[in-house]
């Protein structure tokens, strides 16, 4: 594997559940207004690699896994989720895959080794950039990699395919139009993209399903977007579809992974609790308690069907016609 010139960056955002934002008619015009949220991301992901490693599996993938059977390990399930995305992209050897919010790099490594493609990863985390460069330098592939400490707002080079796994929550509602326009413009006519994101529900949708936006849920979401994911916003699946279609994409599929996140979160919380001393040593007890509250609270609200996670596929016109 060969590294190309590097800069790099990753994106995420969560939002208050049960809240829906109507689509704006105008995308942000000023490049200054589209400065990536470096501080928000680094406040979370540069906390401590050792801390996250306490509850992550060896893939270091910090997102919903996909369990193909009752005896599947978390690592196997994380790879299965990666393959869910890469299989939908119709990758061909020699293509260039862009990952927006590349985390600790396992999706890029899998793409290089199994799908024989070049990869570009964007992250806003210095720790993740360093980790990815080391990981990909050991990949069993002759393809190139480029891990950049930069946001999608700064990226304008043509690529063949795009993947983004649970980074969309960090983008902010007001940037959705800009994000999808950028992706549409840098993809070829037969381009494909997949995005996975935690999603919430409009209060009317909750009501139609016999639920309501409770004070407890609102308080938990406020906790998440202030103490876990600063500046975060959680979209609805409808928002993900409508903003993509507005940019020109066709959306043939949305897939709920809610049951898989329930299991993923349960494993993470159990591991963090089992390794409490190591977690506290990596940061402090206050942070340990904060993340236990986050992981167990998220699992509860996924079980309650108050929040979900969606994998959405986007096709450009040439991919639809193929």
Task: Establish whether 100 is an annotated binding residue.
Answer: yes
Task: Establish whether 64 is an annotated binding residue.
Answer: no
Task: Establish whether 241 is an annotated binding residue.
Answer: no
Task: Establish whether 17 is an annotated binding residue.
Answer: no
Task: Establish whether 125 is an annotated binding residue.
Answer: yes
Task: Establish whether 268 is an annotated binding residue.
Answer: no
Catalytic residue from among 14, 64, 183, 298: 298
Taking the C-alpha atoms of residue 106 and residue 303, their distance in angstroms, rounded to an integer, is 27
Residue 200, CA atoms < 13 Å, CB-side half-sphere: 25
Task: Establish whether 102 is an annotated binding residue.
Answer: yes
Q: Give CA angle at 166 (216, 265), nearest 5°.
A: 55
pLDDT of residue 164: 99
Task: Establish whether 126 is an annotated binding residue.
Answer: yes
Task: Establish whether 97 is an annotated binding residue.
Answer: yes
Domain of 113 in residue numbering reads as: 2-321
pLDDT of residue 44: 52
Three-class HEC string of 236-263 = CHHHHHHHHHHHCCEEEEEEECHHHHHH
Let me know if 293 is exposed, middle or buried by CB neighbors in 10 A (0-12, 13-18, 19+). middle
**pTM (two decimals):** 0.87
pLDDT of residue 172: 86
Task: Establish whether 198 is an annotated binding residue.
Answer: no
pLDDT of residue 40: 58
Is 64 a residue of the active site?
A: no
Residue 119 near residue 94, CB atoms below 8 Å: no
Let me know if 262 is exposed, middle or buried by CB neighbors in 10 A (0-12, 13-18, 19+). middle
Number of domains into which the chain is organized:
1
Within the chain, which residues score under 50 in pLDDT?
5-32
- CATH number of domain containing 124: 3.40.50.150
Residue 34 near residue 172, CB atoms below 8 Å: no
For 251-265, the pLDDT digits (tens) are 999 999 999 999 999
Residue by residue, DSSP assigns 122-176 as EES-HHHHHHHHHHHHT-S-SSEEEEEE--GGG-----SEEEEES-GGGS-GGGH
pLDDT of residue 20: 39
Taking the C-alpha atoms of residue 157 and residue 24, their distance in angstroms, rounded to an integer, is 26
pLDDT of residue 53: 93
């Amino acid at each position: 594997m060969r590294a190309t010139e590097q800069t790099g960056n990753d994106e995420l955002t969560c939002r208050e559940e049960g809240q829906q934002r109507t689509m704006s008619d105008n995308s942000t015009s000023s490049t200054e207004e589209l400065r990536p949220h470096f501080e928000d991301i680094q406040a979370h992901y540069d906390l401590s690699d050792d801390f996250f490693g306490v509850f992550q599996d060896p893939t270091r993938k910090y997102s919903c896994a996909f369990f193909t059977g009752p005896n599947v390990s978390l690592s196997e399930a994380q790879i299965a989720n990666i393959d869910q995305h890469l299989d939908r992209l119709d990758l061909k050897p020699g293509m260039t895959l862009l990952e927006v919010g590349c985390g600790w790099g396992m999706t890029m490594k899998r793409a290089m080794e199994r799908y024989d493609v070049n990869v570009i990863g964007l992250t806003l985390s210095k720790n993740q950039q360093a980790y990815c460069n080391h990981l990909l330098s050991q990949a069993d592939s002759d393809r190139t990699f480029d891990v950049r400490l930069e946001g999608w707002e700064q990226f304008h080079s043509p690529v063949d395919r795009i993947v983004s796994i649970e980074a969309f929550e960090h983008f902010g509602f007001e940037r959705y139009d800009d994000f999808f326009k950028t992706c549409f413009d840098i993809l070829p006519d037969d381009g494909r993209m997949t995005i996975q994101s935690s999603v919430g529900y409009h209060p009317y949708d909750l009501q139609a399903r016999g639920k309501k936006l409770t004070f407890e849920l609102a308080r938990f979401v406020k906790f998440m977007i202030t103490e876990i994911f600063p500046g975060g916003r959680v979209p609805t699946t409808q928002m993900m579809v409508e903003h993509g279609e507005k940019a020109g994409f066709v959306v043939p599929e949305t897939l709920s992974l809610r049951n898989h996140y329930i299991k993923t979160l349960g494993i993470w919380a159990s591991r963090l609790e089992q390794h409490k001393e190591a977690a506290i040593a990596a940061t402090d007890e206050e942070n340990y308690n904060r993340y236990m509250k986050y992981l167990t609270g998220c699992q509860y609200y996924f079980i309650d069907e108050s929040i979900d996670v969606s994998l959405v596929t986007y096709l450009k016109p040439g991919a639809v016609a193929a």
